[in-house]
Amino acid sequence: MNDLEKAKEMLEKSEYTCVFRNGDSVMTNKKRGVAPLLELLDENKSLEGYSAADKVVGNGAAFLYVLLKVKTLYAKIISKSALETLERYKINVQYETLTDAIRNRDNTGFCPIETAVQGITEPEIALIAIRDKLEKMKNLER
């Protein structure tokens, strides 16, 4: 069983939202959305050589995976724009369900992070847009 298969198995048999694996090195997270990926970027982690398994991958998350330099990715659900981004950056992708776009948690519209990166093609610009959107959402909650 390769790293991607092992990461996928861990994802499916646990409450993790994402699993990262490179040989004996394993990282897991239970946080939702792009939070786990942003944390890794904030810690200056590179996942070069890692395989990742994630429950939901929208285009925002796809850009973050590009910045983290994962080798391969499995997504339970992935948006078409996320798949295009990952393929453009030569990240091998497997998925269970391909959808036009990721819905928000209330299922009342589209995911705000997916919307925030619409029309963006550069991962670094997407990161800025994601952080801006999260800050605006945090300010609305206050």
Q: What is the pLDDT of residues 65-84, one digit of tens each?
A: 999 999 999 999 999 999 99
Dihedral Cα 105, 124, 84, 44, nearest 10 deg: -70
Looking at residue 105, what is its pLDDT?
85
Query: Stretch 44-60: mean pLDDT, rounded?
Result: 95
Looking at residue 2, what is its pLDDT?
95
- What Å distances lie between residue 125 and 88, 129, 133, CA to CA? 16, 6, 12
Looking at residue 15, what is its pLDDT?
94
In which domain, by residue range, is 42 found? 3-141
The number of CA neighbours under 13 Å toward the Cβ of 112 is 14
Looking at residue 19, what is its pLDDT?
97
Please tell me the distance from the alpha carbon of residue 87 to that of residue 121, in angstroms, as a whole number: 12
Structure tokens of 68? 């983290």
CATH number of the domain where residue 75 is located: 3.40.140.30
Q: Give me the number of domains the chain comprises.
A: 1
